[in-house]
Structure formats: C-alpha cells, structure tokens
C-alpha cells in the first residue's frame, strides 16, 4: 500500500512553523515495509512526532500538495529545456514579439492552462 | 622428484578414470590433503552458495521520499531456497557479495534516487547508493556492490527511495538484487 505520508508530514511541519526541508535531512526518515508508510526516524527539534490521527487529519491538503507536485512535473516537461525556451525567446525578440503575442508566452500559457494546479 | 602419491592415492589412478564433464553435484566428493591427512569433502563446500538473483514480478509504485522495501517475487536463481518473502536468509555464516540496481524515469533537477541494503530490519548506511538527476525527467539508474557479513540467522532486504515529488515506478526489467557467498575470507 502506498500512501501520501511525505506530504502529510510536510503539512504537519508547516502547521508547526517548520519547513519541508526537515523531510530531506537526516532528522526524519519515512519507511514502508510493504504495509504502508510510517515514520521510522523523528528527531525534529522542539516538535513531537505526529501520531496517525494527527497525520490523517491533514490528508486532504496533503493530497492537494501531491497532485500539484505531479502537475509541476508535467508542466516542466511541457515547457521544454531552458535552451529551447531561450531560443524561442530570442526568435520572439527578433520578431518584436517579446510580449504576450510571442511564441514562448503562448507555449508556456498553453502548458499551464492544460495542467492547472488545485 | 615430483610427489606422485599422498598416502595410498596415486595420481595415475585418477587420470585413468572417466572424466566428469559437468559441474559436480553438491554432494560429490573430492579428496584433500588436510595438513597431512587425506580427507573427503563434499564439493558444496567450495561452491559460492547460497546464492540468489531476484526480480520484481510486477512494477512497483514507490512513494515520494520514503524508503520502501522492494517486493522481489521472481527468483531467477535461488540455489538453496534461501530467498523468500522478499528477503535472503542464507543460514550459513560468511561474507556475501551483493549487487543491486534500480532505474527511475521521473526524477530531475538534483532529485535523489537511492538504494539501501537492510540487515535484520535496519538500514546499513554503508550499503546505501545514491544518484542525483540533472535534466528533466531523466532516465537514470543507481546501482551498488557491497560485501556484507551474515551469520546463521541474519537476513537482508533491499529498499529504495526517490524524491521526485510524486510517486515513481520501480520497473521489473530494471530492478535487480543478487548475491553469493564469498569463499576463502
């Protein structure tokens, strides 16, 4: 079973004046032995390890974060490489279209519109 | 003068016998000079076993930033039936040489993919192998080799982690775990 433990913990941290960066340090380690995720290690200064009830209360917002993370990834792929985008911008500048009429803006807008965040 | 006999064994008697043209069975025996005493020994004692090589049976979903046990249910090699329930429990004390690999296709921009061997349920940090993606949605692998000592009731498992931000897939064709006993050390 795969759950959304990372984002539940992220929401718990943010609700207690901490940041997601704690999740990428050695202070927190999440683990899944095949029966769902759980907190294996918790060494966050000044903040107690959350219980299942506290985490599940954050499930809705955590799911939103997860969905938006996936959308960001999809958008990034749609934007293309930085090099290709700069090339598009250069061509727009040459054509005096360095504004919303340019091809770069149209492409970015189309990707964002097709992949709206929650 | 070359030594042609050890006790009552004559090398001529060996060269005159039928050659065994295949790998000997585990219970086949050979003679050894053990400090001046001839002894018979099963060849299984010089096999690199127990050994195993396993794969995922189906693609496995890996949650973001969570060390997740890999579910290896397809055994391509399991020499002594020591791999079961996603874990290798050799039951023969000794050093074991492990290799492991995984591939992800959704990581990018310094996101991490990681493999770690767990011994008796705890991660062995020295056996953690990481790789970091650079471009967008890289096809990227991480792999490792590791020499580990296991006693008669130790067991090992393989865990993976990725930080793409969402779920990622561990693919059947690209996720491997294998190992064998190393002799002589």
| pLDDT (tens digit per residue) in B84-138 | 999 999 999 999 999 999 999 888 888 999 999 999 999 999 999 999 888 777 7
For chain B, give the mean pLDDT.
91
For chain A, give the mean pLDDT.
94
The radius of gyration of chain A's CA atoms, rounded to the nearest angstrom, is 20
In Å, how far is B36's CA from the nearest CA of chain A? 52
pLDDT of residue A1: 42
CB distance A59 to A7 below 8 Å = no
B185 vs B59, higher pLDDT: B59
**Is residue A31 less than 8 Å (CB to CB) from chain B?**
yes
pLDDT of residue B179: 98
pLDDT of residue B6: 52
**Do residue A76 and residue B62 have CB atoms under 8 angstroms apart?**
no
Provide the Cα torsion B90, B94, B99, B100; round to 10°. Answer: 50
Coil/strand/helix, residue A28: strand
- Buried residues in B111-126 as b, exposed as e (16+ CB within 10 A): bbbbbbbbeeeebeee
- Buried residues in A87-108 as b, exposed as e (16+ CB within 10 A): ebbeebeeeebeeeebebbebb
Provide the Cα torsion A26, A55, A21, B120; round to 10°. Answer: 20
Mutation test of the interface with chain B: which of A8, A20, A37, choosing the one with the most B Cβ atoms within 10 A? A37
pLDDT band at B11 (very low <50, low <70, confident <90, very high): confident
pLDDT at B7 over 60: no
Coil/strand/helix, residue B100: strand
Question: What is the pLDDT averaged over residues B54-60?
Answer: 96
**Do residue B65 and residue A24 have CB atoms under 8 angstroms apart?**
yes
For residue B10, how many other CB atoms are within 10 A of its CB? 12
Please tell me the distance from the alpha carbon of residue B115 to that of residue B130, in angstroms, as a whole number: 7
pLDDT band at B1 (very low <50, low <70, confident <90, very high): very low
**Is residue A20 less than 8 Å (CB to CB) from chain B?**
no
β-sheet bridge partners, residue B29: B42
pLDDT at B177 over 50: yes
Q: Which residues on B lie below 8 Å from A35 (Cβ)?
A: none
Question: What is the pLDDT averaged over residues B52-66?
Answer: 96
In Å, how far is A102's CA from the nearest CA of chain B? 24
pLDDT at A22 over 60: yes
Structure-token pair, residue B90: 């050799």
Mutation test of the interface with chain B: which of A9, A10, A23, A33, choosing the one with the most B Cβ atoms within 10 A? A33
Q: What is the DSSP letter of B23?
A: P
B10 vs A77, higher pLDDT: A77
CB distance A22 to A44 below 8 Å = yes
| ipTM attached to this prediction | 0.83
pLDDT of residue B8: 61
**Do residue A34 and residue B69 have CB atoms under 8 angstroms apart?**
yes
Model confidence, pTM? 0.87
In Å, how far is A41's CA from the nearest CA of chain B? 11
Please tell me the distance from the alpha carbon of residue B126 to that of residue B69, in angstroms, as a whole number: 17
User: Quick one: CA dihedral B104, B106, B112, B116, positive or negative?
Assistant: negative
């Amino acid at each position: 079973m795969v759950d959304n433990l990372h984002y539940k913990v992220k929401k718990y941290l943010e609700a207690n004046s901490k940041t997601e960066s704690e999740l990428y340090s050695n202070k927190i380690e999440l683990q899944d032995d095949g029966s769902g995720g759980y907190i294996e290690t918790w060494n966050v200064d000044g903040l107690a390890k959350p219980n299942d009830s506290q985490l599940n209360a954050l499930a809705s917002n955590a799911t939103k974060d997860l969905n938006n993370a996936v959308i960001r990834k999809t958008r990034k792929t749609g934007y293309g490489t930085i090099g290709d985008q700069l090339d598009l911008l250069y061509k727009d500048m040459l054509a005096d279209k360095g504004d919303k009429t340019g091809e770069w803006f149209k492409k970015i807008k189309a990707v964002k519109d097709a992949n709206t965040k929650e | 003068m070359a030594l042609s006999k050890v006790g009552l064994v004559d090398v001529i008697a060996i060269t005159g016998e039928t050659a065994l043209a295949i790998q000997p069975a585990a219970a086949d025996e050979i003679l050894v000079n053990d400090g001046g005493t001839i002894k018979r020994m099963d060849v299984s004692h010089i096999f690199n076993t127990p050994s195993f090589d396993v794969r995922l049976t189906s693609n496995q979903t890996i949650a973001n930033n969570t060390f997740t046990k890999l579910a290896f249910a397809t055994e391509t090699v399991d020499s002594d039936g020591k791999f079961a329930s996603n874990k290798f429990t050799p039951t023969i004390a000794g050093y074991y040489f492990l290799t492991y690999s995984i591939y992800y296709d959704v990581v990018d921009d310094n996101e991490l993919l990681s493999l770690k061997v767990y011994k008796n349920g705890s991660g062995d940090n020295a056996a953690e192998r990481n790789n970091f993606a650079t471009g967008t949605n890289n096809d990227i692998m991480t792999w490792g080799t590791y020499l580990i000592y296991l006693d008669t009731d130790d067991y090992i498992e393989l865990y993976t982690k990725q930080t793409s931000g969402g779920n990622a897939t561990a693919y059947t064709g690209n996720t491997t775990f294998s190992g064998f006993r190393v002799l002589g050390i």
